[in-house]
Amino acid sequence: MDTSQFIGVGLAAVFASTFGSMLGLGGGVFLVPLLTLFFGIDPKVAVGASAVCVVTNSVVGSSVHIRSGFTNLKLSMLLQVTTATGAIVGALVALRVDASVINVVLGVVLIYSALSMLRQRRLEPQAPAKEAPDPLHLRASFVDPATNRVIEYLPVRIEPGLAISGGAGVLSGMLGIGGGAIQVPLMNLLMRAPVKAAAGTSSFMVGMTAVATAAVFYAHDQIDPRVVVPAMIGIFLGAKLGSQLTRRIQTQRLVLVFVMVIAYLGVSLILKVFDVALM
């Protein structure tokens, strides 16, 4: 890897982690396609590097999200039981699957995420009734600095949430994307957590999920320090920036941009399998 590629991978990581950290996506959902499409890096090496970067992004970004009160640690632990289990299955499957299959699956996941985020933009959960049952003690609140409002919420539909979270784990294990692209819409659309709480909680969870993925790729010599080192430098810068921006910016305004970027990357990856390149 020459100096220009080193810098290029670093800049790609800044982009991936800034946007990833803002929406609790971990950044892998952006980083894997960027590394494979623009730097010609083998998808498996890209997924391995991405897993390490997702952990880094989570570690850096979560410390800010937890301080801000966006992260629901109890909810994260609950969902993580099925997510981490799914990630082991997914990572073992990924090592036996052809690279083009990984590209198609990632492409479909990206398009799904884009559509989900488009829906999410219009839906913001209402505050739960004080007397609403909370057997798992998941009720939480935070001050949204962008609007200066106290947001109270109570996650619901825990059982289906756990099941879908397991599926997110399988995909994250296969793709090294951390699973946030599915976790955020899941928590927001199904479990009725506000976008920022979903993003903060997901940001913490994706780090734990990616640990399992990173370990599997490490054991199979698929973590390349030539890619990981510049990416980690970029991730550090982007994660700090992204988590600070989450506090200040109204997330809904950014969702449209993310939808366009994610949809573009998703379509590009699927078309790449058929040797068709988008600009």
Partner 1 sequence: MQAHSPPETANESQLRGRVTRVLETGFRVAVSIMSIGLLLALVQREPLPETMGQPRELVSGLSNADPGSIIGLGIVAIILTPIVSTTAIAWTFYRQGDRRYATISGLVLLILLASIGLSLL
User: Would you tell me which residues interact with partner 1 (CB under 8 A)?
Assistant: 1, 52, 55-56, 58-60, 62-63, 66-67, 69, 73-74, 77-78, 80-81, 84-85, 87-88, 91, 136-137, 141-143, 148-150, 152, 207-208, 210-212, 214-216, 218-226, 228-229, 232, 236
Q: Please say which residue, 66 or 263, places its beta carbon nearer to partner 1.
A: 66
The least distance separating partner 1 from the CB of residue 232, rounded to whole angstroms, comes to 7
- Quote the CA–CA distance of 32 and 78 in Å, as a whole number: 28
**87 within 8 A of 212, measured Cβ to Cβ:** yes
Q: Please say which residue, 219 or 278, places its beta carbon nearer to partner 1.
A: 219
The least distance separating partner 1 from the CB of residue 270, rounded to whole angstroms, comes to 29
- Quote the CA–CA distance of 178 and 66 in Å, as a whole number: 18
Q: Please say which residue, 191 or 214, places its beta carbon nearer to partner 1.
A: 214
| Chain center to CA of 189 | 16
Helices (H), the chain: 3-23, 28-39, 43-68, 73-94, 99-120, 158-175, 180-185, 195-219, 225-248, 251-273
Q: Please say which residue, 211 or 245, places its beta carbon nearer to partner 1.
A: 211
CA distances from 197 to 65, 94, 169, 274, 278 (A): 9, 30, 19, 39, 35
Q: Please say which residue, 190 or 215, places its beta carbon nearer to partner 1.
A: 215
The least distance separating partner 1 from the CB of residue 267, rounded to whole angstroms, comes to 32
The least distance separating partner 1 from the CB of residue 198, rounded to whole angstroms, comes to 18
The least distance separating partner 1 from the CB of residue 253, rounded to whole angstroms, comes to 20
The least distance separating partner 1 from the CB of residue 255, rounded to whole angstroms, comes to 23
16: closest CA among 1, 4, 28, 3? 28
**7 within 8 A of 227, measured Cβ to Cβ:** no
Phi and psi at residue 2, in whole multiples of 5°? -90, 175
Q: Please say which residue, 107 or 207, places its beta carbon nearer to partner 1.
A: 207
